[in-house]
Amino acid sequence: MAVYPATPTGACSKRTGSKLAKRSARSRSKTKEGYPSLRSWTMAQVRSKNTKPEIAVRKAAHALGLRFRLHRKSLPGTPDLTFASKRIALFVHGCFWHRHDCDKATSPASNVEYWTAKFDRNVRRDARNATDLRKAGWRCVRIWECETKDAKKLAGILRRKIASKPKAL
Ligand SMILES: [Zn+2]
């Protein structure tokens, strides 16, 4: 399976917005010839696994001696990491795709309607998954891509949000 970056390279700049749009237009025009559709391309971006931020979180969790499982498909939203003994489901979210309130969540300058709808769907899906997990007795933890850059800070977040939590009954 192809591994895509969690965020398109250089998603912070305006230029990337148009680069993305260009790529979108290209993908769309090739759909008839059997190339992946724009939808499947963007879905691949959103659903991508084993991203750099995700690997950073795994490393940090491992260093704290936490035991976890990856991508449990039986749980809503297929959480990136699950800590079964604590009943904690953790998602590592790309700031761009999941609309973090930080400077990485830029908005592409073209195809505004398309992107707005796309982002809305992502955010709604995240909220629905979190609700479903809570209903099933799981605590939901979200780590943002921008929180994974600094290993020390990341370890602090994991310690606070996971390691310090008591085991589930
Ligand atoms: Zn962020």
User: So what's the pLDDT on residue 47?
Assistant: 59
User: Could you tell me the CATH number of the domain that includes residue 18?
Assistant: 3.40.960.10
Asked if residue 169 is part of any domain, the answer here is no
Asked if residue 101 is part of any domain, the answer here is yes
Asked if residue 48 is part of any domain, the answer here is yes
User: So what's the pLDDT on residue 29?
Assistant: 44
For 130-152, the pLDDT digits (tens) are 999 999 999 999 999 999 999 99
Q: How far apart are CA 12 and CA 33, in angstroms?
A: 32
Asked if residue 168 is part of any domain, the answer here is no
Asked if residue 84 is part of any domain, the answer here is yes
User: So what's the pLDDT on residue 50?
Assistant: 86
Asked if residue 3 is part of any domain, the answer here is no
Q: Is the pLDDT of residue 154 over 70?
A: yes
Average pLDDT of the chain is: 82
Compute the distance from residue 10 Cα to the ligand 1 centre, in Å.
Answer: 14
Compute the distance from residue 9 Cα to the ligand 1 centre, in Å.
Answer: 15
More confident residue, 114 or 2: 114
Compute the distance from residue 119 Cα to the ligand 1 centre, in Å.
Answer: 15
Compute the distance from residue 96 Cα to the ligand 1 centre, in Å.
Answer: 8
Compute the distance from residue 78 Cα to the ligand 1 centre, in Å.
Answer: 21
Compute the distance from residue 53 Cα to the ligand 1 centre, in Å.
Answer: 11
Asked if residue 103 is part of any domain, the answer here is yes
Asked if residue 126 is part of any domain, the answer here is yes
Compute the distance from residue 163 Cα to the ligand 1 centre, in Å.
Answer: 22
Compute the distance from residue 94 Cα to the ligand 1 centre, in Å.
Answer: 7
Domain that holds residue 106: 14-163
Compute the distance from residue 99 Cα to the ligand 1 centre, in Å.
Answer: 8
Structure tokens at 161: 């949000």
Long-range contacts of 107-112 (CB under 8 A, 24+ apart): 107/17, 108/16, 108/17, 108/18, 108/20, 108/21, 109/14, 109/17, 109/18, 109/21, 110/17, 110/18, 110/21, 111/21, 111/24
Residue type, 128: R
Give how many domains the chain has, as a whole number.
1
Compute the distance from residue 141 Cα to the ligand 1 centre, in Å.
Answer: 15
